[in-house]
Amino acid sequence: MKRFTGVERGVSFLTRMGIGFTISILASLIAGFMERKRKNVAFAHGLTDKPHDTIPMTVFWLVPQYSLHGVAEAFMAVGHLEFLYDQAPESMRSTAAALFWMAIAGGNYMSTLLVTMVHKFSQGADGSNWLPDDNLNKGRLEYFYWIITLLQVLNLVYYLLCVKFYTFKPLEIVHKDQQDHELKLVTHV
C-alpha cells in the first residue's frame, strides 16, 4: 500500500477511520436486509406467531454483517488509536487513550438511549413497537437497523467535514546530517 498511497504507514489513520465508517454503514444496511429475509422465512413457514420456535434458516446468514462489523471495528479502533498517539501531545497520550475508551462507553450508553427512544416512539395504538419483547417476528427490527445506517451516514458526513478542516500536528523533521552531528556531540561528551 505504501507504494500506491505514498504514505509511510500505507494508509493514513484518517483514511483508515473513514474506511471503517464506510464498512460499518454497509454492515448495518446488510443487517437490515438479513432481518427482512429472516422474517420472510418465518412467515413462509407459518412461524410468525410462534416466537419460541426455531426458524429453518442457517446461522451463517449472520456471517456477512458480523464479519463486516468486525473488519470495520478493526479499521476504526486502529485508526483512532494511531490518531491519538500520533496527534496528541506526548504528555497527554494516556489521557487521550482514556478519553477514547470513555467515548466508546458513552456511545454504548447512547445506543441504549436509542433503543429506549425507538421503544417509546414506535409504539402503535395496539401497544406493539419495532422492538417487541415477546415476538420479534412481529416487530420491525429492520427499520431499527436502517435508522442506525442513516445515523452512521450522517456521522460519516460529519467525519468527512472534520477531516477536511483538520490541521495536523507539526512534526519535527531531523535531517541525517543534523542527527549525525548530534550523535558526534553525544559521543565526544
DSSP code per residue over 106-166: HHHHHHHHHHHHHHHHT--TTS--SS-SS-GGGS-HHHHHHHHHHHHHHHHHHHHHHHHH-
* Secondary structure letter of residue 83 according to DSSP: H
**Residue 99 · residue 106 · CB < 8 Å:** no
- Residue 136: per-residue pLDDT: 87
Low-confidence ranges of the chain (pLDDT < 70): 171-189
Say if residues 17 and 76 touch (Cβ distance below 8 Å).
yes
Number of folded domains in the chain? 1
CA distances from 41 to 47, 58, 83, 137 (A): 8, 11, 44, 10
Q: Which pLDDT score, from 0 to 100, does residue 19 have?
A: 95
Quote the pLDDT of residue 184.
55
Owning domain of residue 100: 2-188
pLDDT per residue as tens digits for the range 13-37: 999 999 999 999 999 999 999 999 9
Q: How many whole angstroms separate alpha carbon 66 and alpha carbon 83?
A: 25
